[in-house]
């Protein structure tokens, strides 16, 4: 059943992945607070992690059977990896903040589904684990698989990847999904496309930080 409410401009960051703050002792898979915030339980997060891990193994088996060249994936840790990941996160977060400043009047008037909020002070182990794994899976697909095509096909692959990114995040609300899919999707694509070593690890970590801490930096400053 879909849940709709009249949204306002978000005062808190929005997470990139499908995990949200958990309430201590919450045993229900999903609850909706009085403020309209969707909250998943610890059990729901671990259940989602198990399902995604199973699907990940199936996808890897499929790629293996299709003789995909896994050597095209450059995933390695260097001393610049954490720095580049933080720069990616901050750059994407600022773009997302500016996007919401521009779309806030529209979000207040149209009956779009409300976004899911995040708070750094409410983190749990399950959310961190799921955020790390989900960040890897999503960017591995969008950057490692979608872009593993001949350069002449990029003009088709790029809009397709943005469309899928939007579809992945519609549960956070239409405005949020468009921001994550189009704005951040384009940012991650261009950053990877023009990076020298095509190292996927910083992109995994940057996405995971968005899942864990919430996307956006201005709400932390203003609060």
C-alpha–C-alpha distance, residues 106 and 85, integer Å: 31
pLDDT band for 6, please (50, 70, 90 cuts): very low
C-alpha separations of 10 from 78, 158, 208 in Å? 36, 28, 20
- Residue owning tokens 């919430």: 214
Token representation of residue 165: 């990114």
Q: Is the dihedral of CA 132, 5, 113, 97 positive or negative?
A: negative
pLDDT band for 80, please (50, 70, 90 cuts): very high
Q: Contact at 8 Å (CB) between 155 and 162?
A: no
Give 132-182 pLDDT, tens digit per residue: 999 999 999 999 999 888 889 999 999 999 999 999 888 888 888 999 999
Nearest CA among 213, 180, 209 for reference residue 82: 209
Across all residues in the chain, what is the average pLDDT? 80
**pLDDT on residue 144:** 94
C-alpha–C-alpha distance, residues 216 and 11, integer Å: 10
What are the beta bridge partners of residue 31?
Answer: 39
Give 8-37 pLDDT, tens digit per residue: 444 444 555 544 444 444 455 666 555 555
Strands 30-32 and 38-40, bridge-based pairing: antiparallel
**pLDDT on residue 112:** 47
Q: Contact at 8 Å (CB) between 40 and 28?
A: no
Residues belonging to the chain:
223
**pLDDT on residue 142:** 95
pLDDT band for 1, please (50, 70, 90 cuts): very low
The share of the chain scoring above pLDDT 90, in percent, equals 49
Does residue 57 carry a pLDDT above 90?
A: yes
C-alpha–C-alpha distance, residues 141 and 62, integer Å: 13
C-alpha–C-alpha distance, residues 112 and 10, integer Å: 13
pTM here is: 0.76
């Amino acid at each position: 059943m879909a849940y709709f409410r009249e949204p306002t401009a978000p005062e808190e960051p929005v997470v990139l992945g499908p995990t949200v703050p958990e309430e201590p002792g919450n045993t229900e898979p999903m609850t909706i607070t009085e403020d309209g915030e969707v909250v998943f339980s610890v059990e729901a997060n671990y259940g989602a992690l198990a399902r995604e891990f199973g699907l990940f193994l199936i996808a890897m088996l499929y790629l293996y059977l299709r003789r995909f060249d896994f050597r095209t994936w450059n995933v390695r840790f260097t001393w610049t990896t954490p720095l580049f990941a933080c720069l990616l996160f901050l750059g994407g977060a600022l773009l997302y903040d500016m996007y919401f400043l521009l779309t806030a009047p529209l979000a207040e008037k149209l009956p779009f589904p409300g976004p899911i909020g995040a708070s750094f002070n409410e983190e749990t182990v399950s959310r961190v684990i799921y955020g790390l794994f989900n960040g890897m899976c999503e960017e591995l697909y969008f950057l490692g698989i979608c872009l593993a095509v001949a350069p002449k096909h990029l003009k088709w692959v790029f809009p397709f990847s943005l469309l899928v990114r939007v579809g992945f995040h519609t549960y956070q609300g239409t405005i949020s999904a468009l921001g994550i899919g189009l704005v951040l999707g384009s940012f991650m694509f261009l950053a990877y496309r023009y990076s020298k070593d095509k190292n996927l690890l910083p992109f995994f970590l940057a996405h995971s930080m968005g899942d864990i801490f919430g996307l956006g930096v201005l709400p932390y400053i203003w609060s």
